[in-house]
Amino acid sequence: MAKNVGILAMEIYFPPTCIKQDVLEDHDGASKGKYTIGLGQDCMAFCTDVEDVISMSMTAVVSLLDKYEVDPSQIGRLEVGSETVLDKSKSIKTFLMPIFEKHGNTDIEGVDSTNACYGGTAALFNCVNWVESSSWDGRHGLVVCTDSAVYAEGPARPTGGAAAIAMLIGPNAPIAFESKLRGSHMAHAYDFYKPNLASEYPVVDGKLSQTCYLMALDSCYKTFCNKYEKLEGKPFSISDADYFVFHSPYNKLVQKSFARLVYNDSLKKASYIDEAGKESLAPFSSLSHDESYQSRDLEKASQQVAKPFYDAKVQPSTLIPKQVGNMYTASLYAAFASLLHNKNTDLSGKRVVLFSYGSGLTATMFSLRLTQGQHPFSLSNIASAMKITEKLNSRHEFPPEKFVETMKTMEHRYGSKDFVTSKDCSLLAPGVYYLTEVDSKYRRFYAQNGAVANGSS
Residues that bind ligand ACO (CB under 6 A): 31-34, 37-39, 117, 155-156, 159, 192, 204, 206, 209-210, 213, 249, 252-253, 326, 359
Q: Is 117 a catalytic residue?
A: yes
213 or 446, CB closer to ligand ACO?
213
Nearest-CB residue for ligand ACO: 38
40 or 277, CB closer to ligand ACO?
40
Closest approach, Cβ 206 to ligand ACO, in A, equals 3
74 or 115, CB closer to ligand ACO?
115
Closest approach, Cβ 8 to ligand ACO, in A, equals 28
Closest approach, Cβ 223 to ligand ACO, in A, equals 20
d(CA 170, CA 4): 8
Which residue type is seen at 293? Y
139 or 322, CB closer to ligand ACO?
322
Closest approach, Cβ 34 to ligand ACO, in A, equals 4
49 or 299, CB closer to ligand ACO?
299
Residue 440 burial (CB < 10 Å; 0-12/13-18/19+)?
exposed
196 or 389, CB closer to ligand ACO?
196
Q: Which residues contact 253 (CB under 8 A, 6 or more apart)?
A: 210, 213, 246
Measuring CA to CA, how many Å separate 349 from each of 6, 246, 313, 369, 371? 15, 20, 15, 7, 5
d(CA 356, CA 247): 5
Contact 143, 123 (CB under 8 A): yes
**Which of 11, 79, 83, 200 is the catalytic position?**
83
Q: Is 83 a catalytic residue?
A: yes
Contact 197, 174 (CB under 8 A): no
Closest approach, Cβ 307 to ligand ACO, in A, equals 15
Q: Which residues contact 224 (CB under 8 A, 6 or more apart)?
A: 181, 182, 183, 236, 353, 365, 366, 367
Strand partners, 79: 143
Measuring CA to CA, how many Å separate 232 from each of 47, 180, 259? 46, 11, 24
Measuring CA to CA, how many Å separate 276 from each of 150, 260, 273, 303? 43, 17, 8, 14
**Which of 18, 43, 117, 127 is the catalytic position?**
117
Closest approach, Cβ 66 to ligand ACO, in A, equals 31
Q: Which residues are catalytic?
A: 83, 117, 247
